[in-house]
Amino acid sequence: MNQKPEPFLYTESVAHTFPDGVAAIIDISLSIEAGSYVSLVGASGVGKSTLLRIIGGILKPSGGEIFLKGGSPEKAGDPIGIVFQRDNLMPWRTVIDNVRLPLELRGVNGKEAIIEAEEMIELVGLSGVESSYPAQLSGGMAQRVAIARALVHRPSLLLLDEPFGSLDALTRERMGQELLHIWHAMPVTVFMVTHSIHEAVLLSDEVLVMTGRPGTLTERLPISLPRPRLLEMQATTEFQECASAVRTAIEAGRVL
């Protein structure tokens, strides 16, 4: 490739002030390449969820613009998958009925929807629990259902807002590895908010750091560790250096 392609996603001076006057984010310009895995870290309240919601089209920014594939996200017409910190499953629907919900909303029903949903359930390692209800699942399983639901309409962009925040450390590590497996198996760009520096470094091509109030992007750290990223890598000097660079960038913002 001799000509640099248009970034898959970019934001131009995005800002948001809530109607009550709280300025959450300011002047956020970022670009994300197609197929990459990018994480966003920063202290609590810095505006990470606000930015994610704006990129996902759930919240309209009070300033700036978002471009997906060079145009407005509406024009691109690509579905976007979103996983929230809490799984947000519908308790009265079975696993398969939760997973096929986005298809149903787009008018895709019947056998086609079932086949697609079953495929995603298998991808997230949940075959066999299709007829269970959310209350019968562990926290990790429920989050996997939420991930399957976000992927069922084959989005080109998957947004994750602290998807493993409520899970124990070991399950969380396993889920991270599973996400990498999914990312390798599907042509999807991932943008993930996380509180875990180690998780961000282990999974990502790039870690973005937000600081300040209102929050803005203050650091962009490429992670050049080789892939596949295995848990054991966390013990290497290279990994530790990346993690400490991210930590320093987050801390730098605290004293501003």
Ligand X SMILES: Nc1ncnc2c1ncn2[C@@H]1O[C@H](COP(=O)(O)OP(=O)(O)OP(=O)(O)O)[C@@H](O)[C@H]1O
Per CB under 6 A, 197 contacts ligand X: no
Per CB under 6 A, 217 contacts ligand X: no
With CB under 5 A as the contact rule, which of the stretches 11-19, 42-50, 126-134, 229-237 interacts with Mg ion? Answer: 42-50
With CB under 6 A as the contact rule, which of the stretches 29-37, 41-49, 104-112, 122-130 interacts with ligand X? Answer: 41-49
* Residue choice 44, 111, 170, 232 for contact with ligand X (CB under 6 A): 44
Going by their DSSP bridges, the two strands 216-222 and 206-211 should be labelled as antiparallel
Which residue in 178, 109, 188 sits closest to 151, CA to CA? 188
Buried/exposed code over 100-138 (b: 16+ C-beta within 10 A; e: otherwise):
bbbbeeeeeeeeebbebbbebbebbbbeebbeebbeebe
Closer residue to ligand X (CB): 58 or 169: 58
Distance CA 83, CA 57 (A): 13
C-alpha dist (Å) from residue 175 to 142, 147, 182: 12, 10, 10
Per CB under 6 A, 46 contacts ligand X: yes
* Residue choice 11, 49, 204, 211 for contact with Mg ion (CB under 5 A): 49
Per CB under 5 A, 39 contacts Mg ion: no
Strands (E), the chain: 9-17, 23-32, 37-42, 63-68, 80-83, 157-161, 189-193, 206-211, 216-222
Closer residue to Mg ion (CB): 103 or 160: 160
Note whether 94 and 137 are within 8 A (CB). Answer: no
Per CB under 6 A, 47 contacts ligand X: yes
Per CB under 6 A, 254 contacts ligand X: no
Kindly identify the residues of this chain, within the stretch 8-27, that bind ligand X according to CB under 6 A. Answer: 18, 20, 22, 24
Report, in this order, helix, strand and coil percent for the chain, each rounded to 5. 40, 25, 40
Closer residue to ligand X (CB): 38 or 121: 38
Closer residue to Mg ion (CB): 43 or 120: 43
128 binds, among Mg ion, ligand X, none (CB under 5 to 8 A by kind): none
Distance CA 223, CA 184 (A): 17
Per CB under 6 A, 58 contacts ligand X: no
Largest CA distance in the chain: 56
Closer residue to ligand X (CB): 13 or 109: 13
With CB under 6 A as the contact rule, which of the stretches 45-53, 102-110, 132-140, 244-252 interacts with ligand X? Answer: 45-53
Q: Which residues of the chain form contacts with ligand X (CB under 6 A)?
A: 18, 20, 22, 24, 42, 44-50
